[in-house]
Amino acid sequence: MNNLHKKSAIAVVLFLLTFCYKATAQTGINRISKEQKMYELSVVWKELSYNFANMDNCPKVHLDSLYREYMIVVQNTKNDWEYYKAMYRFLSNFNNGHVTIYNRPDYYLDYLGYLLLTTTCKDNKIIVENIGIHNAKKINIGDEIVMVNNLPVMDFLQKQAMPYVAVSNEEVKFRYAMFGMNKVLNTALKDEKITLGIKMPKGIKQVTLSYDCYYKPLPKEMASQRNKQYLDTNAYANFLSVCNNLFLEDTVHNFAYIRLTRCDTSFQSFFLEHYEKIMQRKHLIVDVHYNEGGSSNATWAAIAYLLNNDSIYVYTDKTRVNNAVYKAWATIKKLFYEDDEVPEFYKINYYPYYDNTAFEKVEGGSYGEVYPCPVPDEWRYKGKTHVLISEDNGSAGEYFAAMLSQNKDITFWGKKTVGAFGQPLIVRLPSGIDVMINTTKTYDFQGRDISSGFPPDYEYDFSDVYKINDPQEMLGKLIEVIKEIEKTEK
């Protein structure tokens, strides 16, 4: 082979090696370029600027300043998972359950593991609630965690866990920062380590755990698989049972109980399946405390039967208004005139467009409208209805609760809901990440802004009641609590 042929052959080999290297780099966990990260952040910032309706729920956030900060953050992320986390953290600043990452690319799962560890906060102490069986010799249920990665545990949760919590209800941010609750904290690249400091009688024991339960190959039944891997399988099984629909009766106290855990086709079918028995009872407990949502349309049959009204009202939603001309007129006054020189007419009619506080009632989509009840009067429930809600109750599950509140004879018990009302805009990014941005402010039938959560009539923590394994015993305890509080209030 002559020199020319040799040089050509070497050039081809080098080209193929380079091509193969680039192709390999594009199939790992480093597929997203710096330029694309910047572009995607900019798209999200733009959509937030024009469409996010709840800036009043995050008063410390200055959108443009936050954007400039994260321009640097996202470009410096080392891989796609770190980029995902940065975007998740960026969105969590807006304190809204409908402003977060809705979906992530499937290829992430090839590289991720999860940590079988759940914690709870008791008496201002972080306690191990459950752990993976394979870590049973390292750590015990009931152990107190005092350090995480050489940081005091409270500092760690405040700085490295709470920033990934996207909720409107500020009271529950810390709870959702716990291991087992935090969507980001319990996931990392495969076999990544975390070091816990466990309080012992004679000091602190260092325990290193790995994210060694892999998402892929994905178990056919992830929940069942995790259940088997936890040390306290009864506790996890009890948690899973709370996520299932349930119907019970207490004939002694004349109560019916129905738990509805998801706003899908089963919501309506399960309710209607048991409605004839519900009609026979003077009291009804409707439990949606763990209903995270779905489709609000799935709740309409139950709403119609339970409201006992001839007319069904739909609460009001408002959305941002962008009027470029009004904003421009406001800009002139803002830039070139002193405040006392500006007519009140300008301040009232144009300044809101400059300040992004101009809203209008949502027309269509049923919001604010009135409908005749399709259920005949004789089939409507006439008894006393008690609705159980909690900080785990969100989205369409909150819609259901808020809709029932137009009936003054329906009482709400529990904790303020998570605050994921409204219609989210889905922004699909080229990387495969889908982002949600909330576009509405929500008002109840008294005109209160409930965007950050729907409050109960009676606040009560039912968490210990839900830990009761026997369903009938749990129902008995619920009835006991309700009757005792009602008696006290009288």
Tokens for 121, please give them. Answer: 């906060």
The residues, any chain, with a CB within 8 Å of residue 132's CB and separated by 6 or more, are 115, 116, 117, 213, 229, 230, 231
pLDDT digits (tens, 9 = 90+) for 129-138: 999 999 999 9
Res 82: pLDDT: 97
The angle subtended at Cα 366 by Cα 56 and Cα 293, nearest 5°, is 65
* Mode of pairing for the β-strands spanning 255-259 and 283-287: parallel
Q: Whole-angstrom Cα distance, residue 191 to residue 222?
A: 19
Low-confidence ranges of the chain (pLDDT < 70): 1-27, 218-227, 235-240, 490
Q: Are 54 and 441 in contact (CB under 8 A)?
A: yes
Tokens for 175, please give them. Answer: 């709870």
Q: Which residue has the tokens 């994260």?
A: 70
* Mode of pairing for the β-strands spanning 458-459 and 100-103: unpaired
Instruction: State the DSSP string of 160-219.
Output: IIGGG---S-GGGHHHHTSTTT-TTTTEEETT-EEEEEEEETTEEEEEEEE--EESSSPP
3-state secondary structure of 458: strand
* Burial class for 116, CB neighbours closer than 10 Å (0-12, 13-18, 19+): buried
Res 275: pLDDT: 98
Res 285: pLDDT: 98
Res 27: pLDDT: 61
Res 367: pLDDT: 77
Res 195: pLDDT: 97
pLDDT digits (tens, 9 = 90+) for 256-282: 999 999 999 999 999 999 999 999 999
> Residue 64 is inside which H or E element, if any?
helix 63-75
Tell me which residue of 157, 409, 450 sits closest to 282, measured CA to CA.
Answer: 409
Is the torsion defined by CA of 197, 198, 199, 204 positive or negative?
Answer: negative
pLDDT digits (tens, 9 = 90+) for 339-395: 999 999 999 999 999 999 999 999 877 777 899 999 999 999 999 999 999 999 999
Q: Whole-angstrom Cα distance, residue 35 to residue 277?
A: 61
Q: Which residue has the tokens 């209008």?
A: 360
Res 222: pLDDT: 55
pTM, full prediction: 0.86
Res 22: pLDDT: 40
